[in-house]
Amino acid sequence: MTNAVPDPSTVSIGLRTAAHVGISVADLDRSVAFYQALTGLEPVVRDETMQGAGFARSQGLATTRLRYATLRLDNLGIDLIQFQEPVGEPAKMGANRPGAMHLCFEVDDLPAVYDRMRDAGFEFLGPPYTFTVEEVSPPDAAGTQVAYFSDPDGTNLELIAPRGGFARPG
């Protein structure tokens, strides 16, 4: 199913602030432990539930019952959601799969964070990478460092030490 794309020359809704990212997980307790180790944060909400026909319909489901937890970063919430009814099939992850997304964590010193995470047992998809001026546009983004890894369910995650055009306006 493909959603129609409104014409941006005639429509501007103006959404500018993200509240949270929701990540469906197979095992809430395992995922909470992973994200706690990653962020150093305690969940602000843990092992809460949502259910009901109205809520299910809002998600395009016939029925739903779920457990969830929320960790609050400085600028975004991470909702970890375990569907107990209906239990879903694992997604086919991959950075090149249409519809795939990733959650990116900004760091100041990527090599130090990478080494610390690797020493703690986090597994990366490959070594850290630094973009060169020949590989990236805008050219001032050269020097941006990235490293990619996954959570226990295969959700794509990234570390970035952004430069130039990749840096958030501050």
Q: Which of 14-18, 24-28, 73-77, 161-165 is the least confident region?
A: 14-18
Domains annotated for the chain, with CATH where assigned, are 20-85 (3.10.180.10), 102-166 (3.10.180.10)
pLDDT tens digits for range 42-53: 999 998 888 889
Predicted structure pTM score:
0.88
pLDDT tens digits for range 130-144: 999 888 888 888 899
3-class DSSP string for the chain: CCCCCCCCCCCCCCCCCCCEEEEECCCHHHHHHHHHHHHCCCCCEEEEEEECHHHHHHCCCCCCEEEEEEEECCCCEEEEEEEEECCCCCCCCCCCCCCCCEEEEECCCHHHHHHHHHHCCCCECCCCEECCCCCCCCHHHCCCEEEEEECCCCCEEEEEECCHHHCCCC
